Structure 1
Amino acid sequence: MTWTAPQITRTDEILTGDERRQLQNFLDRHRDTLLWKCSGLTADQLKLAPVPTTTLTLLGLVRHMAEVERGWFRHTAAAQDGSPIYCSDDNVDGDFDDVPDADAEADFATYRRELALCDAAVAGLPLDHEATRPRGDTFSLRWIYLHMIEEYARHNGHADLLREAIDGATGE
């Protein structure tokens, strides 16, 4: 039997609330949008690179976002283990490049697990919490949330194009 990405219902948009609740809601909605763009596709479809000018795939985007979430929320903000999931010094783009041999079901489970771990890692930190990366740059948790929303917005645009090229499905 072929694995198919589960159907997803996106988080409802909230229009009021404190800053933390609003940032988390925007982030969750973007996370859900990426999964929504993948929903109902088979593992083979998720691995397709249907746009001739790029090798980008929907599964590669899911793997990449698991890496980025871990790097920013767990490693940078919460100072937890930030070991890469798919990448290494010898394979810096493993999240994108190693898709042909990837296990889509396992990668989706890794992504969902990483989201839960990231949310838990920063839940007790104030938005003004500052974290410094090894090269010396300092970031507030607020900036990290905004950056992650930006990262998802860009990649969800890619996901829109990829999904339409795979099966014609469109939607906001």
Structure 2
Amino acid sequence: MTDVDAQGRAEPPLAAGEPATLLGFLDFQRATLEWKCEGLDATALRATTAASAMTLGGLLKHLAYVEDHWCSWALHGHVRQPPWDAVDWAADPDWDWRSAAGDSPAELLALWRNSVSRSRSLVAEALSEDDGEGGGLERLGRRVLPNGTAPSLRWILCHLTQEYARHNGHADLLRESLDGATGE
């Protein structure tokens, strides 16, 4: 039985295998971001706080990109899909953050949710592969990092969880500055 907290987030399993535990923690962090962005209009998703230009809308778009980058591009070697394929990342490395201001809340949430859904499918596919080269969590990404090494699926899942956890701290501050909503 899955325990659900007061915000509707499924708690990570207390006693499960490594894949289920890693995916449980990642999904909990994903649900936390969604909770922090829940019910906000375009103005709220564009709001900044203090000296930072970071916004909740920017977080949604950035994490949609991060999902696609690691689970589609790096893990499976797929070509970049829209909207990521039309970006000159060398000329505009912050495009995902900056361009979110022009997107509606519905567009941002759909982009993020679609990326998460695609990532879940791609991770499940990688976990089920038996390619004779150490499938499952040991399965290496199809693309290499700048240092010439390929990350394992285990590393990618840990990295995604870390990325969400770090940015959920930002989301906490941004949401509280908007309407005083706090929590975790």
TM-score by length of 1: 0.88
The farther-off stretch of 129-138 and 51-60 is 129-138
Q: Give the aligned partner of residue 76 of structure 1.
A: 74
Matched with 1:141 is 153
Do residues 17 (structure 1) and 16 (structure 2) align?
A: yes
Q: What is the alpha-carbon distance in structure 1 between the residues aligned to residue 88 and residue 115 of structure 2? A: 18
In structure 1, distance between residues paired with 2:37 and 2:151: 31
Matched residue SS, 1:62: helix
What letter is aligned with 2:98?
D
Kindly name which structure, 1 or 2, has the bigger radius of gyration based on alpha carbons. Answer: 2
CA distance in 1, matches of 2:145, 2:160: 19
Deviates more, 1:153-162 or 1:112-121: 112-121
Contact 2:62 2:97 in 1 (8 A): yes
Question: Structure 1 unaligned runs (5+)?
Answer: 1-7
Change (3 A) 1:123 1:43: same
CA distance in 1, matches of 2:56, 2:173: 10
Counterpart contact for 2:40–2:105, Cα < 8 Å: no
Give the SS at the match of 2:77.
coil
Q: Deviations over 1:85-136 (max 9, x none)?
A: 3543332211111232222211111111111111111213210001232632
Aligned residues: 164
1:16-165 equivalent positions in 2, closer than 5 A: 16-49=15-48, 51-83=49-81, 85=83, 87-89=87-89, 90-125=91-126, 126-131=136-141, 132-133=143-144, 135=146, 136-165=148-177
Q: Which runs of 4+ in 1 moved over 6 A?
A: none
Structure-1 separation of matches of 2:105 and 2:13: 31
Q: TM-score of the superposition, structure 2-length normalised? A: 0.83
CA contact (8 A) 2:44 2:178 kept: yes
CA contact (8 A) 2:100 2:108 kept: no
What secondary structure sits across from 2:151 in the alignment?
strand
CA distance in 2, matches of 1:153, 1:24: 14
User: Kindly, what percent of the aligned residue pairs are identical?
Assistant: 37
Once residues 138 and 106 of structure 1 are traced to their aligned partners in structure 2, the CA distance between those partners, rounded to angstroms, is 32
- Letter of the 2:10 partner, please give it: T
Please give the root-mean-square deviation of Cα atoms over the aligned residues, in Å: 1.6
